[in-house]
Homo-oligomer: A and B are copies of this chain.
Amino acid sequence: MNLHIVSENNFPTAAGLASSAAGFAALVRAVADLYLLPHSESELSQIARQGSGSACRSMFGGYVAWNMGVQHDGSDSVAEQVAPTSHWPQMRAAILVVSAAKKGVSSTAGMQHTVATSTLFVQRAKHVVPERMQKMKDAIQQRDFATFADLTMKDSNSFHAVCLDTSPPIFYLNDTSRAIIRLVEELNRVAGKTVAAYTFDAGPNAVIYYLAENERWIMALLTSCFEGVPGLEGVATKDKEEKNVLLENFDVWLLKGVIDGVSRIILTSIGEGPEKVDDKRSLIDAKGEPLKGRKAS
């Protein structure tokens, strides 16, 4: 029996934003549902991982850990849910799409190259990541945003450090990415507390995490830097107070020029894994063909 698979993705693809992880997780879940296969999310997670490593994480909702494992065949490299969305639903993310250009290196090939050639990688794999993983699980259990943010930023930098230590070096961050790092640092300084955390996956795009209670600070920053960038249309500059405090205290040269490198902003929040949708939201018509007006891939 052949399957006609229609897929749609509202994230930039091959830009280091885990779009393939989302796609593979959805595909595996959809096929399992279609055949009424008995399965646990853990089993599906292991299958999805074969399409894209990080797809094993995307099978779950909420806060998910991807444990490295110790087996050479990767059989114990599995994802597990650390906490459901309901445990800490206030988490938000602003994704700053820095470049939708294709990556020079696929993240899977890049990481294999890093493991093979970076002399700093062993330290990261044996010591840095395991320690941070446990601290991060604790921070999530305790809903401790300051620690969550500190670990997030440090680990992002550590990951990109071993990419740079690869031979030849792998560059995912560009000048715009680095400018965003400085913006977030300066925002936390001006706010007088940790209100935002940056992280970068295998590409130049930034993900900025924040809590709903501090949304006004993040929106003050985004509307100051990225006026007119798609994705910010609905964001009113209603919170004059934070914006004024921000602009009065900010190292203003940091605000200039960043806008040129950011093509789109996606505002989102912590959510669930793949969901079975009803027919009204289906991408196919009754005959199994892509719905008209939709671009199928």
Contacts and interface: CB of A to CB of B under 8 A. Distances in A.
Interface of A: 118-120, 122-124, 127-128, 153-154, 157-158, 160-162, 164-169, 171, 174-175, 178, 181, 185
Contacts of A164: 157, 160-161, 164
B174 A165 contact: no
Contact of A161 (B122, B161, B175, B181): B161
Instruction: Tell me the interface secondary structure of chain A in the complex.
Output: helix
Contacts of A181: 168-169
A120 B167 contact: no
A123 B118 CA distance: 11
Given A123-B123, A127-B119, A154 B174 contact: no
Contacts of A158: 119-120, 165
A171 B175 CA distance: 10
A157 B169 contact: yes
Given A120-B162, A174-B175, A153 B167 contact: yes
14 contacts: A118-B161, A119-B124, A119-B127, A119-B154, A120-B120, A120-B124, A157-B164, A157-B165, A157-B167, A158-B165, A161-B161, A161-B164, A161-B165, A175-B175
